[in-house]
Amino acid sequence: MTTINYFFKILKTPKLFVFTIIWMMVLVVLGTLAQKNMGLFAVQEKYFSSWIFWFWHIPLPGARPTMIFMLINLSFFFFNKSLWKINKMGIIILHLGGILLLIGGGLTAIFSSEGNMVINEGEESNYVEDYHYMELAIINTTSNDFDTYTIFDYNVLKRNNILIHENFRFEIEILHYIKNCKPIRRSTPSEVQYRGMMKNFMLSDLAPLKEENLNRPGIIFNLLNTGSRVDGIYGLFLGQTVPQKITVEDQDYIIVFRKKRTYLPFSIELIDFKKVMHSGTDIPKSYSSEINLIESDIKKHLLIKMNEPLRHKGYTFYQSSFIEGPDGETTVLAAVKNYGQLFPYISSIIMCIGLLIHLVIKLPKLIKSRNV
Amino acid sequence: MLKNKFNCYCFCLLVFSCTMNDNTRTYKLVKTKFPETITNTKTKKSQVLSWNKPERWVVSDGSSMRLASFSVPYSKGGGDLSVIKLDGSGGGIEANINRWRRQLNLTPLSLVAIEKDITSKQGNLGNYKMIEIINSETNDAFLCAIILLKDSTIFVKLSLKIEGIAEIKNEFITFCSSLNFD
């Protein structure tokens, strides 16, 4: 038997499924224990979204390759000739449900997005800000009519990466990406190479917090080859109220470090945010956002309430939170887009049908054997 | 078996090709009003700085921060000279000299103590201040000049060994005095 055939034999064996299921259980236990110290998002990234993770000095497979092996194993078993018999119809359907469940999980892992849409009363918004991931936006504001955005995602904002793009003629060398930082005013003058906010402030590294959304990420980068004194080291952090502006070769740019934004093909205008308290207490009973859904200049008047989300064009907007400020109220909508959202429901129904059919097929035999 | 291999190949190709490859995106949006910047680093058409340098000084590759950068040879070695211009006072004399002192592993001094070591020179851009910073333990030294202008400050720093000071000092003063705007 050749090595390839042996490999295929391993992929087909039901034992592989048993091992992957056991390994998933181990991962769930490790993740649950680690969550206490690391926080939910970090655990999800380390154990469940990763290909390999390090347990002390031992590299171990994450949930992603484990589930891929599980899917390959189920698929091989599903397409095995010996399974395709009428008396195994229930098992065939059960496997189909399992395969669909894993494919749905894969689609969710790769393509889904979730974030917040924050809208002040009387204003409208057409973008969702990701909960976790950051982006560096280089915005060319030279034109009187529009701004040109060049966005670099979190994945490329790593130390020593050099960011270049045809939209601008300078280079950005990432010097440091800080998961959690604190801007501290300098007590002595900065080194001469610092520019912008970094002339007066430095970004101090803090230990990342368990609650991911409490971290304040920051980035330090070197602007190169502008052909002018704009060259230098810049720093930006999340929530910086004053963006960094530069001019290179008569082109005006604004550089912003912000949560990853996904622009929508429609806008939501907040007309009124309402909250109802339990009488005589400060405990909220319900929140609701009266909104206009604006699409192609057509306004549709809608209400988003707790447990009554708005579903539109694949997005689901839940009433998540609110902010009360001196200038009025602000609604916070949790926006989710999940291409695989129907897969768990469909696959669960299919698996139930499969189990039921298998039971019906096996039931006469079971009754007969009991009678004997 | 061949069918299985083909299925496996197609499946693996499908699974492993499912990666997000949108690390860079571009789009255009209607103009947004951004908050005013505190540190607007707009490049102005500035005057060009000129100088007279000794022939043996060689132009070197400095950082992009430097207006000029030279290798300064002397009989027992070589030094590195940089010319930098900063807006305003550039942080002031005390802070900058103490920053240079720290670079030489020396303790910071008060302004009163620093001023004792400062000598005043006359150049094309007016009076400027010059100071020698020496660490005799490491044998390292800086010859520094600070030229205060109306809205900016020029810093000239020559990094060398102590034995080079006597040989280079006059050339350094001549160079600093020659600095001018075209």
ipTM of the complex: 0.73
Residues of A in contact with B15 (CB under 8 A): 68, 71-72, 106
Specify whether the CB–CB gap between B68 and B83 falls below 8 A.
Answer: yes
End-to-end CA, chain B: 82
Q: What are the residues whose beta carbons fall under 8 Å from the beta carbon of B83, sequence distance 6 or more?
A: B49, B51, B66, B67, B68, B69, B154, B155, B156, B179
With beta carbons less than 8 A apart as the criterion, state whether B156 and B82 touch.
yes
CA-nearest residue of chain A to B34?
A243
Distance of residue B66 Cα from the nearest chain A Cα, in angstroms: 9
Burial class (CB within 10 angstroms; exposed 0-12, middle 13-18, buried 19+) of B91: buried
Cβ pair B95:A188 closer than 8 A: yes
The two structure tokens encoding residue A131: 């909960």
CA atoms within 13 A on the CB side of B163: 7
In sequence order, which residues have a C-beta less than 8 Å from that of residue A110 and are 6 or more positions away?
A: B18, B19, B20
Please report the pLDDT score of residue B11 as a whole number.
Answer: 60
Tokens of A337: 């887009």
Contact A11, A73 (CB under 8 A): yes
The pair phi, psi for residue B32, each rounded to 5°, is -110, 145
Q: Give me the amino acid identity at A77.
A: F
Helices (H), chain B: 2-16, 93-103, 111-117, 165-178
Interstrand relation of B152-161 and A218-224 (parallel, antiparallel or unpaired): unpaired
In which residue are the tokens 């897969």 written? A343
Of B37, B43, B91, which has the smallest distance from its Cβ to A228's Cβ?
Answer: B43
Which residue in A143, A156, A199 is closest to B23 by CB distance?
A: A156
The per-residue pLDDT for A83 is 81
Least confidently predicted of B39-43, B150-154, B170-174: B39-43
DSSP string, A191-214: PTTB-GGGGTEEEEE-PPPSSGGG
Write down the residue that tokens 């209607």 correspond to: B30
- The pLDDT value recorded for residue A214 is 85
Domain B56-181 class?
A: alpha beta
Cα–Cα distance measured from residue B35 to residue A244, given in angstroms and rounded to the nearest whole number: 10
Condensed to tens digits (0 to 9), the pLDDT of residues B12-41 reads 556 555 555 568 888 888 887 766 654 444
Predicted confidence (pLDDT) per residue in B113-130, tens digit: 888 888 988 888 888 999
Query: What's the pLDDT score for residue B41?
Result: 43
Q: How far apart are CA A79 and CA A99, in angstroms?
A: 12
Question: How many contacts does A have with B, using Cβ atoms within 8 A?
Answer: 132
Please list every residue in chain B whose beta carbon sits closer than 8 Å to the beta carbon of residue A242: 35-39
Chain B hits for A147, Cβ within 8 Å? 28-32
B21 to chain A: which residues are within 8 Å by CB? none
pLDDT for B42: 42
CB-based contact B64 A232, cutoff 8 Å: yes
Average predicted confidence (pLDDT) for chain B:
79
Mean pLDDT across the stretch B72-88?
84
Chain-centroid distance of CA A202 in Å reads 29
Q: How far apart (Å, rounded) are the C-alpha atoms in residues A77 and A12? A: 6
Distance (Å, whole) CA B96 – CA B93: 5
> Residue B43: pLDDT above 60?
no
State whether residue A202 sits within 8 Å of chain B by CB: no
| Contact check, Cβ <8 Å, B22/A153 | yes
B interface test, pick of A16, A192, A240 with most B CB neighbours within 10 Å: A192
pLDDT tens, A285-312?
788 999 999 998 899 999 999 889 999 9
**How much is the pTM?**
0.62
Low-confidence ranges of chain A (pLDDT < 70): 1, 326-327, 372
Q: Give the CA distances from residue A244 to residues A240, A262, A332, in Å, rounded to whole numbers and listed in that order.
A: 9, 22, 27
pLDDT at B176 over 50: yes
Contact A195 B31 (CB under 8 A): no
Query: How far is A5 from chain B, CA to nearest CA, in Å?
Result: 8
> B2-6: which pairs have CB atoms within 8 A and are 24 or more residues apart?
B4/A8, B4/A76, B4/A79, B5/A4, B5/A8
Nearest to A237 by CA among A183, A173, A157: A183
